[in-house]
């Protein structure tokens, strides 16, 4: 499992175009928003948690098709399927690798990008916390979507159509918690719900994703 | 009675249901049932709508706009029930590998999405004069919009995969996971915003429902829309089965030629 994780991380970092791209995309989205809505600090500060969450979500979406597609094309997915490691485990490891290369950098960058959005003091902390709790769910749900579309020639657009509706609950609770935290209100309920979604998703979706991969490579 | 006998007996007791899963029997049974279901649709939906539109009094606060309820409530109900039916059919396909299950789920999706769109549109048309807006981010409205997106994703996945069995498997998995997330979204959306939409128009345990004058034609249209859904799903599933058979025949022909 660790060997697979190291291999995936190495591929993501060295193959180019995967690792930094999501982060750059996130930065561009954050930069574009003030051009669209105007530079007034108050407006930006009010929408900052939502924009950062949507930006992180889209940046995450960008690299999803890489989770299984390359391995499917060069045949290593078939090898993984016959390996002693159960497919469920492989899915978890691949989702974890995706999170380490996409979700975690996004989480670390979000408070910094918050400055661009005129975010005020406790806001940075809360966007960091909510993304830290929420992005594993985004990676896992994305891995499920990638597993569904892995055999398809032009799966990219379909992948977004499948995955984005599944992101709705995570986005709602994550952005709500970030907004409330920034405004100094009670955050327990949305944070707990967000953590619950992440825990549930990590517990159950590997089985669905593994089933989808087995169907796709049979 | 041994355990084995008992399971066998219970299996026999359910046989009438699984008969439907045999494609040939399904064609036979639906062929017979279809005229009745279509007939039921005609005798409930048309009188129900005419009654509702022309022979109910105008409500004091809403004027004649209240009559959109005869389209809105039944289609909204069917939009959700169609998804539930797709979930059950998908489970039947995954567990028992009956093709009729997968094909019925596939057949129900476009019907369900049309009901969803009708519910959203009639709601918007009603909301404009009543709430003063075509759209509000009300929990019910938002959940329906999300349901619409789920339908789109489901149908797109069916359309994208060439091999019918793979497509059936993957869409079934998506239907199951999607159902969980649809319920989750419903609660998330409830938490996110308090609504404008009134409570359920009809429920058995509510003290106060819609007044009787409106309620009676509404029941007719509700029955009618269920019958319409069943009829459409029958027709579409029959088409799918025929197409499958045609495909098999073509393959056999080609094999014979080669």
Contacts of B29 (CB under 8 A, 6+ apart): B19, B20
Nearest to B156 among A158, A166, A211 (CB): A158
Give me the helix-helix angle, B139-160 and A155-182, nearest 10°: 160
CB A94 within 8 A of CB A17: no
Output the tens digit of pLDDT for each of chain A's 218 residues: 777 887 777 777 776 656 678 888 999 999 998 899 888 888 888 888 999 999 999 999 888 888 888 888 888 888 888 888 888 988 999 999 899 888 999 999 999 998 888 888 788 899 999 999 999 999 999 999 999 998 887 777 889 999 999 999 999 999 989 988 888 888 888 899 999 999 999 999 999 999 999 998 87
Cβ <8 Å between A165 and B149? yes
CB B197 within 8 A of CB B124: no
Q: Does A172 touch chain B (CB under 8 A)?
A: yes
Q: Does B162 touch chain A (CB under 8 A)?
A: no
Length of chain B equals 258
Q: Does B160 touch chain A (CB under 8 A)?
A: yes
ipTM: 0.86
Q: How far apart are CA B140 and CA A128, in angstroms?
A: 31
Give the bridge partners for B59, in sequence order: B63
Q: How far apart are CA A58 and CA A141, in angstroms?
A: 13
Q: B-chain residues within 8 Å CB-CB of A154? A: 160
Q: What is the pTM assigned to this prediction?
A: 0.86
Q: B-chain residues within 8 Å CB-CB of A190? A: 191
How far does CA A154 lie from the centroid of its chain? 21
CA distance to partner chain B, nearest, from residue A14 (Å): 32
* CATH class for the domain made up of B35-257: mainly alpha
CB B126 within 8 A of CB B72: yes
Q: B-chain residues within 8 Å CB-CB of A212? A: 170, 173
Q: A-chain residues within 8 Å CB-CB of B178? A: 165-166
- Mutation target to probe the A interface, by most A beta carbons within 10 A, among B145, B146, B160, B175 is B160
Q: How far apart are CA B144 and CA B127, in angstroms?
A: 15
Q: Find the residue in B nearest to A163 (Cα).
A: B153
Task: Give the residue extent of every domain in chain B.
Answer: 35-257
Cβ <8 Å between B188 and A162? no
Q: B-chain residues within 8 Å CB-CB of A189? A: 191
CB B149 within 8 A of CB A164: yes
Task: Give the residue extent of every domain in chain A.
Answer: 2-216
Q: Does A162 touch chain B (CB under 8 A)?
A: yes
């Amino acid at each position: 499992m660790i060997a697979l994780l190291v291999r995936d991380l190495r591929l993501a970092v060295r193959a180019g175009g995967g690792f930094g791209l999501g982060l750059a995309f996130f930065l561009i989205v954050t930069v574009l928003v003030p051009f669209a809505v105007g530079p007034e600090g108050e407006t930006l500060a009010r929408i900052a948690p939502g924009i950062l969450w949507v930006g992180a979500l889209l940046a995450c979406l960008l690299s999803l098709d890489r989770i299984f597609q390359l391995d499917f094309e060069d045949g290593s997915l078939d090898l993984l399927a016959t390996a002693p490691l159960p497919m469920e485990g492989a899915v978890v490891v691949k989702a974890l690798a995706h999170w380490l290369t996409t979700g975690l950098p996004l989480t670390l960058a979000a408070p910094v990008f918050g400055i661009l959005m005129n975010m005020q003091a406790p806001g940075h902390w809360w966007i960091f916390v909510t993304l830290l709790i929420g992005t594993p769910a985004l990676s896992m749900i994305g891995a499920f979507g990638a597993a569904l579309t892995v055999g398809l020639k032009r799966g990219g657009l379909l992948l977004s159509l499948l995955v984005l509706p599944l992101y709705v609950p995570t986005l709602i609770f994550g952005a709500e918690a970030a907004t409330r935290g920034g405004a100094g209100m009670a955050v327990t309920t949305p944070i707990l719900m967000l953590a619950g979604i992440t825990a549930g998703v990590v517990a159950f979706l590997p089985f669905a994703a593994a089933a989808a991969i087995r169907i796709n490579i049979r | 009675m041994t355990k084995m006998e008992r399971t066998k007996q219970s299996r026999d007791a359910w046989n009438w249901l699984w008969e439907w899963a045999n494609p040939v029997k399904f064609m036979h049974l639906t062929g017979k049932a279809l005229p009745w279901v279509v007939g039921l649709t005609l005798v409930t939906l048309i009188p129900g709508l005419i009654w509702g539109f022309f022979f109910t009094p105008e409500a004091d606060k809403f004027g004649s706009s209240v009559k959109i309820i005869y389209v809105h409530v039944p289609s909204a109900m069917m939009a959700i029930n169609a998804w539930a039916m797709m979930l059950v059919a998908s489970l039947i396909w995954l567990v028992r590998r009956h093709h009729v299950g997968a094909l019925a789920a596939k057949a129900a999706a476009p019907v369900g999405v049309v009901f969803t769109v009708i519910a959203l549109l009639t709601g918007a048309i009603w909301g404009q004069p009543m709430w003063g807006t075509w759209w509000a981010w009300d929990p019910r409205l938002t959940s329906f919009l999300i349901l619409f997106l789920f339908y789109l994703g489901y149908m797109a996945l069916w359309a994208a995969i060439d091999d019918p069995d793979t497509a059936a498997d993957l869409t079934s998995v998506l239907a199951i996971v999607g159902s969980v997330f649809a319920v989750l979204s419903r609660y998330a959306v409830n938490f996110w915003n308090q609504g404008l939409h009134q409570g359920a128009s009809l429920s058995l345990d509510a003290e106060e429902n819609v007044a009787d004058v409106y309620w009676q034609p509404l029941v007719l249209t509700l029955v009618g829309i269920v019958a319409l859904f069943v009829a459409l799903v029958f027709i579409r599933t029959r088409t799918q089965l025929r197409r499958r058979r045609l495909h098999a025949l073509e393959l056999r022909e080609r094999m014979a030629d080669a």
